[in-house]
């Protein structure tokens, strides 16, 4: 047998891993609300197992009536990355995954040869067991012998499959109902009763074996119970989402490393930052700190969360206006010499320097002053400009996007009436003759400066890609960045409205 680590990027997707009953961790179902109480009152049932417990050697037999021909794959998962544990063909109608040592506890999948179906199993201390089922009816036909954990998993799956028609009926009935109507309120109550029934069943299973991976996995996958509250347009209210955001991780046991080897943690992260978290830097920073502070003593969770969140808000990979604010916060607080234990000091220094270069030009801060030589040989400073608003425009003569945006900015500048903004144009990463030729070519009517050493702007206005456009308001605070020319007046008008102008 071969033991290979192989990322199945683009091959495995959560849509078929669930064996036809939705996401096994319940974290992708936006309508799932459990009976867990909000306000920090829920007492988590799952307990961390003894790390020194004896693990059996892997010995899993899979029997499928109507088994397809071809090679089956035993897959594991770490966070969101899948890896291959073993691959083999059936012998006498049995796929027998066997090793002379245990695998790391977690959720595993026996993947069909055509990758259309993945049979789930929980592997913890019990690693010698048999699964028997029928092709096309995997869950309802499943019989487990030798693994209490996997037996519990399929008991819960069967129960939830039995309830699914009722959930579907109620979900469909919500369509076109007026929020606050008697019918709408009655459906909310009916849905709550269904969830109460589902969670009561789960909790009864949890209490039978609180140290099991099944309990930790399924419990972490339940959303906290917060009474539904809707806006008049039918969307979930801001108050509901705020409470959900606060309580979202209540049932997750960050002392249990086994959860990192299930999809529940990565699924919860995707949902938390994708649909629950307001895409505003202050909110992201606040609730990220709360999350990470819960796992400071667990290296695996800490490293994963810190890297995942930092990469998500890496400025070139997100459309968030001030992604640098989140990125800088993450680097300065978590990628430190003391905390980034997985990096060497050179790597840490490099990323800290990048954050330093960004830190002075975050939205809401006073824009730093820049002083440099203009096209006429005179010295010009941002702080000397008197117009209500200032556009700091960093560009390069050979940049294709600059060639597109610069003429638009010239038109916008020339058509001001009255004049509300001045442009402080900074040529970067170029040569003197190219800068002068481009200023003449575009007919730039504003202040144009160039510092061949880049010292004038270093660690002041961060530019990752050109053109880069910042807007400063009358207090010279940065109110917009990473903008296109057609967004300039949107930002200025929004600021004027806040001022009552």
Spell out the residues 6+ positions from residue 417 whose beta carbon is closer than 8 angstroms to its own.
Answer: none
**Is residue 500 exposed (0-12), middle (13-18) or buried (19+ Cβ within 10 Å)?**
exposed
DSSP codes of every residue in 444-457 = --SEEEE-TT-TTT
Nearest-angstrom CA–CA distance, 56 and 52: 12
Say which residue the tokens 């417990």 belong to: 53
Residue 16: predicted pLDDT? 30
Q: What is the pLDDT of residues 138-154, one digit of tens each?
A: 999 999 999 999 999 99
Q: How large is the C-alpha radius of gyration of the chain?
A: 29
pLDDT string in tens for the chain (501-residue length): 222 222 222 222 222 333 333 333 333 333 322 333 333 455 789 999 998 999 999 999 999 999 999 999 999 999 999 999 999 999 999 999 999 999 999 999 999 999 999 999 999 999 999 999 999 999 999 999 999 999 999 999 999 999 999 999 998 998 888 888 889 889 888 988 898 899 899 999 999 999 999 999 999 998 887 777 777 777 778 888 888 888 899 999 999 999 999 999 999 999 999 988 888 999 999 999 999 999 988 999 999 999 999 999 988 888 787 889 999 999 999 999 889 999 999 999 999 999 999 999 999 999 999 999 999 999 999 999 999 999 999 999 999 999 999 999 999 999 998 999 999 999 999 999 999 999 999 999 999 999 888 888 899 999 888 999 999 999 999 999 989 999 999 999 999 998 886
With residue 277 as reference, give the H or E element that holds it: none
Taking CB atoms within 8 Å and a gap of at least 24, the contacts of 325-331 are 325/281, 325/282, 325/285, 325/362, 325/363, 326/281, 326/284, 326/285, 326/288, 327/355, 327/358, 328/355, 328/358, 328/359, 328/362, 329/281, 329/285, 329/288, 330/288, 330/306, 331/355
Say which residue the tokens 């544990």 belong to: 85
- For residue 82, list its beta bridge partners: 77
DSSP codes of every residue in 155-205 = HHHHHHHHHHHHHHHHHHHTTTPPTTSHHHHHHHHHHHHHHHHHHHHHHHH
Residue 77: predicted pLDDT? 97
Say which residue the tokens 């995954």 belong to: 97
DSSP codes of every residue in 361-373 = S-TTSBPPP-EEE
Spell out the residues 6+ positions from residue 423 whose beta carbon is closer than 8 angstroms to its own.
Answer: 390, 391, 393, 409, 413, 444, 446, 447
Q: pTM to 2 decimals?
A: 0.81
DSSP 374: B
Residue 20: predicted pLDDT? 32
Q: What is the 3-state secondary structure (H, E, C) of 303-340?
A: HHHHHHHHHHCCHHHCCCCCHHHHHHHHHHHHCCCCCC
Nearest to 323 by CA among 333, 336, 309: 309
**Is residue 335 exposed (0-12), middle (13-18) or buried (19+ Cβ within 10 Å)?**
buried
Q: What is the pLDDT of residues 162-183, one digit of tens each?
A: 999 999 999 899 888 888 888 9
Whether cis (ω within 30° of 0) applies to the bond prior to 310 is no
Q: Nearest 5°: phi and psi at 83?
A: -135, 155
Nearest to 26 by CA among 291, 247, 220: 220
Residue 54: predicted pLDDT? 95
DSSP 59: E
């Amino acid at each position: 047998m071969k033991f290979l680590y192989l990322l199945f990027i683009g091959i495995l997707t959560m849509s078929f891993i669930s064996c036809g009953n939705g996401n096994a961790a319940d974290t992708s179902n936006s309508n799932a609300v459990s009976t867990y109480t909000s306000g920090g009152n829920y007492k988590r049932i799952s307990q961390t197992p003894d790390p020194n417990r004896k693990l059996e050697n892997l010995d899993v037999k899979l029997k499928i009536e109507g088994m397809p021909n071809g090679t089956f794959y035993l897959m594991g998962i770490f966070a969101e990355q899948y890896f291959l544990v073993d691959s083999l063909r059936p012998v006498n109608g049995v796929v027998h995954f066997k090793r002379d040592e245990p695998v790391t506890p977690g959720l595993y999948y026996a993947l069909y040869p055509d990758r259309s179906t993945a049979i789930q199993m929980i592997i913890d201390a019990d690693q010698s067991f048999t699964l028997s089922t029928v092709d096309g009816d995997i869950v309802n036909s499943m019989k487990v012998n030798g693994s209490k954990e996997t037996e519990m998993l399929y008991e819960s799956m069967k129960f939830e499959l039995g309830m699914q028609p009722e959930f579907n009926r109620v979900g469909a009935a919500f369509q076109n109902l007026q929020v606050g109507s008697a019918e709408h309120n009655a459906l909310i109550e009916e849905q709550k009763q269904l969830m109460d029934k589902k969670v009561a069943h789960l909790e009864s299973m949890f209490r039978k074996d609180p140290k099991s991976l099944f309990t930790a996995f399924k419990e972490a996958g339940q959303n906290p119970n917060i009474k539904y509250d809707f806006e008049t347009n039918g969307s979930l209210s801001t108050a509901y989402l705020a409470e959900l955001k606060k309580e979202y991780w209540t049932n997750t046991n960050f002392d249990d490393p086994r959860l990192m080897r299930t999809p529940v943690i990565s699924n919860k992260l995707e949902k938390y930052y994708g649909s629950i978290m307001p895409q505003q830097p202050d909110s992201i920073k606040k609730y990220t700190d709360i999350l990470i502070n819960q796992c400071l003593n667990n290296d695996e969770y800490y490293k994963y969360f810190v890297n995942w969140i930092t990469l998500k808000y890496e400025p070139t990979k997100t459309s968030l206006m001030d992604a640098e604010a989140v990125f800088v916060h993450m680097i300065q607080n978590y990628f430190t010499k003391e905390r980034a234990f997985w990096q060497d000091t050179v790597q840490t220094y490099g990323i800290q320097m990048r954050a330093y270069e960004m830190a002075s030009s975050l939205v809401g801060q006073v824009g730093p002053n820049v002083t440099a030589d203009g096209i006429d040989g005179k010295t010009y400073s941002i702080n000397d400009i008197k117009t209500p608003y200032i556009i700091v425009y960093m560009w390069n003569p050979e940049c294709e996007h600059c060639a597109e945006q610069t003429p638009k900015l010239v038109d916008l500048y020339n058509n001001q009436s009255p004049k509300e903004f001045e442009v402080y144009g900074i040529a970067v990463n170029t040569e003197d003759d190219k800068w002068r030729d481009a200023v003449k070519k575009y007919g730039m009517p504003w202040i144009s400066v160039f510092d061949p050493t880049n010292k004038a702007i270093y660690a002041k206005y961060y530019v990752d890609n050109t053109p880069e456009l910042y807007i400063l308001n009358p207090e010279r605070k940065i109110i917009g960045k990473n903008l296109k020319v057609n967004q300039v007046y949107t930002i200025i008008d929004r600021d004027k409205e806040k001022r009552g102008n």
